[in-house]
């Protein structure tokens, strides 16, 4: 239950340490030392960096705590409509800097620590980022909760507190080796566990019907249960006094030991139940776009939504709340299909537990869920085998069947004699085995379905969910993704932030469209000089980080050409690599005059899902090419590859501000949106990209003259595929392409061994599902245009400034406004009310 109002008032008014209210350097220092002494149990002279970091984090927490309690109190009093953002992933990144920024404490802390001889930057580096997500989808969730807090919109983020987040990537002989991400090992000062508020979540068992005073009802008799313990995290708005909550669930056994077994001496058996339960939140599934039907994953999904629904209904809402009015209080946004099992769960609660009739429950359901789809790849649309679902959640499967039956009755009524359509639209697929299509369930039940960029939403409606967009045209909408300018410009790029603020004031941090005011400055030579200077400084910062982190020596005087994102064939890291190999091959064979080649550093960052063999081969190949090129004196100073292992949010924050060129080269029609693309544009990199995902909108906004477009369009891709795609015809007709592929096949990058990378080459020549070879020449031509443009430093800088000035649209604040207007209808709370 939310804090008792009177006690919160007392806290905020009477017991708040004066130092905190005054925010003075002295006050901060006292608080910090108090934390070090009484929280960590060390004095300054003996404190390790980790002690200092933990004490600092806890001190900063104090400053936000009062606002957090105040936000909760007001939320409880006002009973305003909230967003519950349900997401299996929140890729938060480091917390300290963001907390300092939000609370406006940066200067006080820097000075206070400085007086004690402590360097803030050292403590910053002691933080291990919580990597509770795979990539774009999880980072998007983190950006969204940041924006909602900053915009004063009530929101609870609900997810899973994985004990091990996304694996730590290492390279051994150039091959990816995964290590566990033990992010909690040194303490986790940003979380607040509440074991007393644990929720019981059940699985398995069977269902039975019974007579309830003349009405036949069903109840679920589960087979086993676990506890979900909430861990709360603060989500501070930027300098606005609001602190929203992110609530992540951790699984525990209902009985830590079975005493009887324990006493009988069977220790292993006694802890088995505990291990079994805790497995549910043990590890983040390191998959991206290609889910595997793993039972544990389904357990995770149900676990966190069941905890979240119970928490919202029983703890957040007042005791006597009439659930018929639920749509006035909440919208549950489903971030992809991972939380979709929440739909039958809420039906179960209303129909079985609260004893509503089906139609009343269904009417509420259709108003409180909305679904965001994140993919266009058919294999990434999640399905669960009915057999597994029925074993794990028997009552939910029955409910899904009934939802489907009633839905299909409607379809039949609208389209009599069209059984084919009925089968296509069924939530239950029959082949290759009976299974539940989670995206269909979300579409049928949700109030809205949105794609994540204009092109993606169009393709969803026209192709992936076409029958549904015909049936429910009013449900389909678009919200183009966005990124938080606080973390990815203000914090990640202090130089650029200072330049912008100096030019147009600091209003852009919460109103990113104001970057437009920079446009005239693109023609100001002094502004461009300063802009370039900042880019150079950012490169030097990256040089230092990569030297320290990876032992990589990067040449800051070269063009920094960056492709960082998950390794996936549709994203086409191989296309980038073929460009590099081709340059190398043409230089070393004398076709290209080395003096005419623009010096470039190609930076890669990419994790491959551990079970994705081709992706891991490609990582091996990038590293192998990197080793050869970096060691070859023939291209020294002209071409080099930097592939730091373990690309994560922290690395993104130094890499992206240093980049000159942003590689967004997925096959058109495959990337739903991308968010990396937005981060680069906002940090003054120019994009080379296909007409895919949000690239389309970036290009439209920044203008064709400031974007390097290439490649087949989505309809052209469809035509090529329909006509029968033969990659070998490109290989045979394009000498440059042939030489590049032959060089790889020759064993040049694998010590003469022709077999090592044969699978990559063979795949490109025989199948090439993502049309790398078809786009190769267009890509090379576009790279020539990049070189020509880069040669004119002033014109390039002008384009870079215009990229920044025209990308304000990609703020996640704007995304949130679109969600609010089109889907949620959750007005901000007036901070002065």
- Report the run of H or E that residue 812 belongs to, with start and end: helix 812-819
Nearer to ligand PLP, 59 or 675 (CB): 675
Buried b vs exposed e over 428-463: b needs ≥16 C-beta within 10 Å? bbeeeeebbbbbbbbbbbbbbbbbbbbbbbbbbbee
Residue 165 contacts ligand PLP per CB under 6 A: no
Minimum separation from the CB atom of position 676 to ligand PLP (A): 3
Minimum separation from the CB atom of position 156 to ligand PLP (A): 23
Q: Which stretch binds ligand PLP (CB under 6 A): 446-454, 671-679, 710-718, 813-821?
A: 671-679
Peptide bond into 317 cis (omega under 30): no
Minimum separation from the CB atom of position 116 to ligand PLP (A): 33
Per DSSP, 382 falls in state -
Decide: 159 and 248 in contact? Cβ < 8 Å: yes
Among positions 427, 512, 575, 649, the unique one binding ligand PLP when judged by CB under 6 A: 649
Distance, C-alpha 84 to centroid of its chain:
17
Residue 648 contacts ligand PLP per CB under 6 A: yes
Nearer to ligand PLP, 345 or 697 (CB): 697
Please state the φ and ψ torsions of residue 163, each to the nearest 5 degrees: -70, -35
Binding-residue total with ligand PLP (CB under 6 A):
13
Residue with tokens 């802390």: 109
Minimum separation from the CB atom of position 166 to ligand PLP (A): 9
**Rounded-to-integer distance, Cα 48 and Cα 34, Å:** 15
Minimum separation from the CB atom of position 444 to ligand PLP (A): 29
Q: Which stretch binds ligand PLP (CB under 6 A): 48-56, 428-436, 627-635, 646-654?
A: 646-654
**Rounded-to-integer distance, Cα 507 and Cα 31, Å:** 31
How buried is residue 733: exposed, middle or buried, by Cβ count under 10 Å (0-12/13-18/19+)? exposed
Q: Which stretch binds ligand PLP (CB under 6 A): 135-143, 379-387, 494-502, 702-710?
A: 135-143
Residue in the shown chain whose Cβ atom is closest to ligand PLP: 676
**Torsion from C-alpha of 508, 512, 514, 519, nearest 10 degrees:** 110
Minimum separation from the CB atom of position 814 to ligand PLP (A): 17
Residue 674 contacts ligand PLP per CB under 6 A: yes
Residue 679 contacts ligand PLP per CB under 6 A: yes
Residue 493 contacts ligand PLP per CB under 6 A: no
Among positions 73, 139, 490, 576, the unique one binding ligand PLP when judged by CB under 6 A: 139
Whole-angstrom Cα Rg for the chain: 28
Residue with tokens 């909305």: 370
Minimum separation from the CB atom of position 648 to ligand PLP (A): 5
Nearer to ligand PLP, 331 or 672 (CB): 672
Nearer to ligand PLP, 136 or 159 (CB): 136
Residue 237 contacts ligand PLP per CB under 6 A: no
**For residues 651-670, which are near ligand PLP according to CB under 6 A?**
652
Among positions 395, 565, 638, 798, the unique one binding ligand PLP when judged by CB under 6 A: 565
**Rounded-to-integer distance, Cα 545 and Cα 543, Å:** 6
Per DSSP, 172 falls in state E
Distance, C-alpha 393 to centroid of its chain:
28
What are the DSSP calls for 553-577, one per residue? ---TTSEEEEEES---GGGTHHHHH
Q: Which stretch binds ligand PLP (CB under 6 A): 434-442, 609-617, 648-656, 786-794?
A: 648-656
Minimum separation from the CB atom of position 573 to ligand PLP (A): 11
**Rounded-to-integer distance, Cα 60 and Cα 330, Å:** 31
Residue 410: CB atoms within 10 Å: 12
How buried is residue 185: exposed, middle or buried, by Cβ count under 10 Å (0-12/13-18/19+)? exposed
Nearer to ligand PLP, 308 or 683 (CB): 683
Minimum separation from the CB atom of position 105 to ligand PLP (A): 25
Q: Which stretch binds ligand PLP (CB under 6 A): 132-140, 320-328, 421-429, 588-596?
A: 132-140
Minimum separation from the CB atom of position 183 to ligand PLP (A): 14
Nearer to ligand PLP, 565 or 814 (CB): 565
Q: Which stretch binds ligand PLP (CB under 6 A): 155-163, 190-198, 242-250, 674-682?
A: 674-682
Beta-ladder partners of 283: 164
Minimum separation from the CB atom of position 693 to ligand PLP (A): 8
- Report the run of H or E that residue 225 belongs to, with start and end: strand 224-236
Residue 135 contacts ligand PLP per CB under 6 A: yes
| Of 507, 497, 445, 453, residue with least CA distance to 479 | 453
Beta-ladder partners of 206: 221
Residue 486 contacts ligand PLP per CB under 6 A: no
Among positions 676, 689, 711, 808, the unique one binding ligand PLP when judged by CB under 6 A: 676
Nearer to ligand PLP, 67 or 814 (CB): 814
Minimum separation from the CB atom of position 670 to ligand PLP (A): 11
Residue 136 contacts ligand PLP per CB under 6 A: yes
Q: Which stretch binds ligand PLP (CB under 6 A): 174-182, 206-214, 297-305, 641-649?
A: 641-649
Minimum separation from the CB atom of position 289 to ligand PLP (A): 10
Residue 720: CB atoms within 10 Å: 15
- Report the run of H or E that residue 775 belongs to, with start and end: helix 772-791
Per DSSP, 184 falls in state T
Q: Which stretch binds ligand PLP (CB under 6 A): 13-21, 296-304, 341-349, 642-650?
A: 642-650
Q: Which stretch binds ligand PLP (CB under 6 A): 227-235, 365-373, 645-653, 811-819?
A: 645-653
Decide: 774 and 727 in contact? Cβ < 8 Å: yes
| Of 298, 259, 263, 257, residue with least CA distance to 275 | 257
How buried is residue 634: exposed, middle or buried, by Cβ count under 10 Å (0-12/13-18/19+)? exposed
Residue 230 contacts ligand PLP per CB under 6 A: no
What are the DSSP calls for 620-666, one per residue? HHHHHHHHHHHH-GGGTTTEEEE--SS--HHHHHHHHHH-SEEEE-P
How buried is residue 213: exposed, middle or buried, by Cβ count under 10 Å (0-12/13-18/19+)? exposed
Nearer to ligand PLP, 139 or 242 (CB): 139
**Rounded-to-integer distance, Cα 273 and Cα 556, Å:** 55
Residue 384, C-beta contacts closer than 8 angstroms, at least 6 positions apart? 293, 298, 435, 436, 438
| Of 568, 95, 244, 168, residue with least CA distance to 377 | 568
Nearer to ligand PLP, 395 or 456 (CB): 456
Nearer to ligand PLP, 607 or 638 (CB): 607
Among positions 675, 797, 799, 815, the unique one binding ligand PLP when judged by CB under 6 A: 675
- The catalytic site residues sit at 374, 565-566, 571, 675, 679
**For residues 585-624, which are near ligand PLP according to CB under 6 A?**
none
**Rounded-to-integer distance, Cα 429 and Cα 418, Å:** 17
Nearer to ligand PLP, 136 or 174 (CB): 136
Nearer to ligand PLP, 598 or 648 (CB): 648
Nearer to ligand PLP, 676 or 684 (CB): 676
Residue 576 contacts ligand PLP per CB under 6 A: no
Using CB under 6 A, list all residues that contact ligand PLP.
135-136, 139, 565-566, 647-649, 652, 674-676, 679
């Amino acid at each position: 239950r939310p804090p008792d109002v009177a006690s919160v008032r007392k806290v905020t008014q009477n017991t708040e340490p004066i130092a905190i209210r005054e925010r003075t350097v002295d006050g901060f220092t006292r608080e910090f030392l108090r934390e070090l002494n009484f929280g960590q149990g060390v004095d300054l002279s003996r404190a390790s960096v980790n002690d200092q970091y933990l004490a600092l984090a806890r001190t900063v927490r104090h400053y936000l705590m009062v606002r957090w309690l105040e936000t909760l109190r007001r939320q409880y009093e006002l009973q305003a409509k909230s967003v519950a953002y349900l997401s299996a992933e929140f890729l938060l990144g480091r917390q300290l800097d963001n907390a300092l920024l939000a609370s406006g404490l940066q200067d006080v802390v820097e000075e206070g620590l400085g007086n004690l001889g402590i360097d803030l930057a050292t403590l910053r580096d002691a933080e291990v980022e919580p990597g509770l997500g795979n990539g774009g989808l999880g980072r998007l969730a983190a950006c969204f909760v940041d924006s909602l807090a900053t915009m004063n919109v009530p929101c609870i983020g609900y997810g899973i507190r994985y004990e091990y987040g996304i694996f730590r990537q290492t390279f051994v002989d150039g091959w990816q080796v995964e290590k566990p991400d033990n992010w909690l090992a040194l303490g986790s000062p940003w979380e607040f566990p509440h074991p007393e508020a644990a929720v019981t979540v059940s699985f398995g068992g069977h269902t039975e019907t019974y007579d309830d005073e003349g009405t036949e009802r069903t109840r679920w008799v589960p087979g086993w249960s676990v506890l979900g313990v909430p861990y709360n995290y603060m989500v501070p708005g930027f300098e606005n006094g609001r602190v929203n909550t992110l609530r992540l669930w951790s699984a525990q056994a209902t009985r830590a030991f079975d005493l009887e077994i324990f006493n009988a001496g069977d220790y292993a058996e006694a802890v088995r139940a505990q291990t079994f339960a805790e497995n549910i939140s043990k590890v983040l599934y390191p998959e991206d776009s290609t889910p595997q039907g793993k039972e544990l994953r389904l357990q995770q999904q149900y676990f966190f939504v069941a905890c979240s629904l119970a928490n919202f209904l029983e703890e957040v809402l007042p005791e006597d709340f009439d659930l018929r009015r639920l749509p006035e209080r909440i919208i549950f946004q489903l971030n992809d299909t991972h939380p979709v099992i929440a739909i039958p769960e809420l039906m179960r609660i209303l129909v079985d537990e609260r004893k509503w009739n089906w139609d009343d429950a269904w009417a509420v359901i259709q108003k409180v869920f909305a679904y965001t789809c994140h993919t266009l790849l058919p294999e990434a649309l999640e399905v669960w085998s009915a057999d597994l679902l029925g074993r794990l959640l028997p009552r939910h499967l029955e409910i899904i069947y009934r939802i489907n039956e009633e839905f299909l009755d409607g379809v039949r009524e609208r389209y009599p004699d069209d059984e084919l359509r009925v089968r296509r639209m069924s939530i239950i697929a029959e082949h290759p085995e009976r299974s539940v299509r989670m995206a269909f369930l979300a579409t049928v039940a949700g109030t809205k379905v949105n794609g994540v960029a204009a092109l993606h939403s169009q393709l969803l409606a026209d192709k992936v969910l076409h029958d549904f967009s015909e049936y429910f045209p009013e449900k389909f909408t678009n919200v183009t993704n966005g990124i938080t300018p606080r973390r990815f410009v203000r914090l990640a790029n202090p130089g650029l932030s200072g330049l912008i603020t100096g030019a147009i004031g600091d209003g852009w941090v919460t109103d990113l469209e104001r970057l437009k005011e920079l446009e005239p400055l693109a023609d100001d030579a002094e502004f461009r000089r300063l802009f370039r200077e900042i880019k150079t400084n950012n490169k030097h910062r990256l040089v230092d980080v990569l030297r320290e982190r990876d032992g990589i020596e990067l040449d800051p005087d070269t063009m920094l050409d960056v492709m960082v994102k998950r390794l996936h064939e549709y994203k086409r890291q191989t296309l980038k690599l073929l460009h590099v190999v081709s340059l190398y091959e043409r230089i070393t064979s004398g076709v290209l005059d080395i003096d005419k080649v623009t010096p470039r550093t190609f930076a890669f960052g990419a994790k491959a899902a551990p079970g994705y063999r081709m992706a891991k081969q490609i990582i091996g190949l990038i590293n192998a090419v990197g080793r050869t090129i970096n060691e070859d004196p023939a291209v020294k100073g002209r071409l080099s590859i930097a592939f730091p292992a373990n690309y994560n949010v922290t690395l993104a924050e130094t890499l992206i501000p240093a980049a000159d060129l942003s590689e967004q080269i997925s096959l058109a029609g495959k990337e739903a949106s991308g968010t990396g693309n937005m981060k680069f544009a906002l940090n003054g990199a120019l994009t080379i990209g296909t007409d895919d995902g949000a690239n389309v909108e970036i290009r439209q906004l920044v203008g064709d003259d400031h974007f390097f477009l290439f490649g087949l369009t989505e309809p052209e891709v469809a035509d090529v595929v329909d006509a029968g795609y033969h990659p070998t015809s490109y290989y045979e007709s394009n000498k440059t392409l042939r030489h590049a592929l032959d060089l790889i096949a020759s064993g040049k990058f694998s010590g003469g061994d022709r077999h090592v990378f044969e699978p990559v080459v063979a795949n490109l020549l025989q199948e090439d599902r993502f049309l790398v070879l078809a786009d190769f020449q267009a890509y090379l031509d576009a790279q020539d245009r990049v070189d020509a443009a880069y040669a004119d430093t002033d014109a390039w800088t002008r384009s870079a400034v215009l990229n920044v000035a025209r990308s304000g649209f990609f703020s996640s604040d704007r995304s949130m406004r679109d969600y609010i207007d089109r889907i949620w209808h959750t007005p901000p709370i007036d901070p002065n009310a």
